[in-house]
Amino acid sequence: MGKLDGLGGDKVFYFFEEICKIPHGSENEMALSDYIVAFAKERGLYCRQDAHYNVFIKKAGSKGYENAAPIILQGHIDMVCEKNAGTELDFLTDPIEIYAEGDFIHARGTTLGADDGIAVAYILALLEDDTLAHPPIEAIFTVEEEIGMGGTRAFETFDVEGKRFLNMDTEEEGVLLSGCAGGRRVRVYLPAERSDSPVGKKAYQISIRGLKGGHSGADIHLQRANANRLMGRILYMLKEAVDFSVASVDGGNMDNAICREAGATVLFAAENEPTVRELLGKWEKMIQEEYNSCETSITITMETLQEEVFKVLTEETKNKLIHILLLLPYGVQTMSMEMEGLVESSSNIGIVKTTSEHIYFDNAVRSSVESRKELICQKIYSIASLCGASVEDVNDYPGWKFNPNSPLLKLFAKTYGEFYGKEAEISAIHAGLECGLFSEKILDLDMVSIGPEMHDVHTPDERLSISSTIRVWEFLKEVLKKMDH
């Protein structure tokens, strides 16, 4: 018996549970890719797996739909791997521990991977069921979406015939997406110049925890705190109060997740410990008050380290580190003037890591306006230049221009009204989808994106609505049935 047995939705939840059993974080997708290939071969379907572990499957149209125009169904097979402190799970080898409670599916202390495992489950369920009415299906499963869409960049389209494209990477039922932001990952490298630890100073670990985090695109408008930015503030204020050194600063694991936890190893004279603890308590209350409408559990703690720290950052490097953390753009930068409530541009300081050679800062920059995306990047370049740091741009991807006149969108909207008895919301999203890259690869592509209700993706609080998943499944079957034949 599976943990999700009896929930309904035909075999959607069966496949979702199977996916959760297979480790599939970004750059660790081979096992899940091989599972999908084996699935296709067992059913005699055309299947192509490329060297990057993208998979392409074709299924003929059902009776009466044999000559209909194909529909491309697409989702990504990688997931964001985030877990709470103290959760013992190895994302490289261990299955996600899922459970159902009320209307939601959760994971125990980790991300669930409903983004975008539920899309994979939907597509496999469609390919499995020979009783459904549908046009020819072309299924594309991509890798590395969460770390810059590397799978889509590498995917070849020589055997793709469809011009209608359904992306299934949306997290809000009732919203039909026809546009998304473009983005770029910008990494700042600050040389980690070091000196011997000062004599007579003790080592401490300052930790910021309890933040909600979230998706750095879809949740950025919620104005949640970023632990990396908060650490910059704490260190700046501490610099004004006591003499201290920094050995390292680390926070976050993914540039497209709002950083929930950060830590800094600092050294100062033992007699300053009461003062520092008092200040941290004061600043904790200040920050809790600032974010009281969107954060409920921010904590700032300090523990004494027993191990000896032999090297610290030079005073100049420490100051540059603090300046960079304070000045890097974070949060909403501009709002759309064309669509009310839509974030146009944003930036997220997702990762800060100290290595032997550098301290690096990974930033996820997004905008639906290319020139404004470039402006945010220019600000990051300028901050880096002023602080003697270098910059590397990685994984620039285009936006998907909003198209309110899409024939596919109109079909989905009409069917939605008939199925739900109300109008769907037609919109664009600030998060990045693979649609922009696919529209460059396949000319005249008509695209829509849908998905079931899920919350707090890219965090250990991620959860997937069971009832919404079933409704979207039934709606999807209805749309496929209504496609020309």
Percentages (nearest 5) of helix, strand, coil residues in the chain = 30, 30, 40
Active site residue 444: no
Contacts of 105 (CB under 8 A, 6+ apart): 4, 16, 98, 99, 112, 114, 463, 464, 466
Concatenating the DSSP letter of every residue in 394-419 gives EEEE--B---TT-HHHHHHHHHHHHH
Give the whole-angstrom CA distance, residue 43 versus residue 57. 11
Active site residue 145: yes
Concatenating the DSSP letter of every residue in 207-253 gives EEE-----BTTTTGGG----HHHHHHHHHHHHHHHS--EEEEEEE-S
Give the active site residue among 18, 78, 219, 250.
78
Give the active site residue among 145, 146, 255, 462.
145
Q: Residue 62, SS3?
A: coil
Give the whole-angstrom CA distance, residue 427 versus residue 412. 13
**In which element (H, E) is residue 390 found?**
strand 390-397
Give the whole-angstrom CA distance, residue 66 versus residue 242. 75
Of 359, 85, 350, which Cα lies nearest the Cα of 247? 359
Where does residue 64 fall: left (phi above 0), alpha (psi -120 to 50 degrees), or beta otherwise?
Answer: left
Active site residue ranges = 78, 145
